[in-house]
Amino acid sequence: MDLVRLAARVAQGDQEAFLALYDHTSPKVYGLALRMMGDAMAAEEVAQEAFLRLWTRAETFRPGRGSLLGWLLTITRHVALDHLRRSTRRPQLAEPPDADTGWEPRLSDEATQTEEARWRSLYFAVQALPDEQQAAITCAYYHGMSHSQIAVYLGVPLGTVKTRLRLGMEKLRQVWAEWPEDTPTDPSDTGD
């Protein structure tokens, strides 16, 4: 499925292209929204607003700057953070975040294998991070916590939080940028 071409058609008001994009991307958009909001109704509202922005701003998507799914997930994250800020609440985490959940790819049809390979590479890259970096990245990305809020939550100095986030993000960027899309994404998958 050529998501870039669908996005161009959406920018021209093509409802069928919008529905095709929605069907293809909604599991990941909703999954991210649910992870960030912690509530199904709030997640549905965030996902709906993210898709509304896709419909009204599809012409702003620039394929050379990244994938359509990445762009849409960034929109979803911003919408979720806006909702969290407006409600002046932050998710109350009962225990340190579990980096194992929320990163798993949610789509698995043949049309998304290349994109799936990149998402799986991100999943394995997160799994390879030290626990401290995983926790800091999860707090910042999924829960929209500021650096100082993460420091309080994790009980570590602010400088430590900044270092953990910087080191973790550097490792993720490196793996994400260097991952060959035709390489098996699971170390146990030898392609035989």
What are the chain's domains?
Answer: 1-89 (1.10.1740.10), 94-192 (1.10.10.10)
CA distances (Å), 135 to each of 53, 122, 131, 153, in order? 30, 15, 6, 10
- pLDDT in the model for residue 191: 42
Q: Where does residue 25 rank: exposed (0-12), middle (13-18), buried (19+ CB within 10 A)? A: buried
- pLDDT in the model for residue 190: 40
- pLDDT in the model for residue 67: 86
Per DSSP, the residues of 21-78 read HHHHHHHHHHHHHHHHHSSHHHHHHHHHHHHHHHHHHGGG--GGGS-HHHHHHHHHHH
Residue-level pLDDT, tens digit, the chain, 192 residues:
688 898 899 999 999 999 999 999 999 999 989 988 888 998 999 999 999 999 999 899 888 888 888 899 999 999 988 888 777 554 455 454 554 444 444 444 444 455 666 666 666 777 788 889 888 888 887 777 888 888 888 888 999 999 999 998 888 887 766 655 444 444 444 444
Q: Where does residue 10 rank: exposed (0-12), middle (13-18), buried (19+ CB within 10 A)? A: buried
Virtual torsion, Cα 50, 53, 55, 60, nearest 10 deg = -120
- pLDDT in the model for residue 109: 47
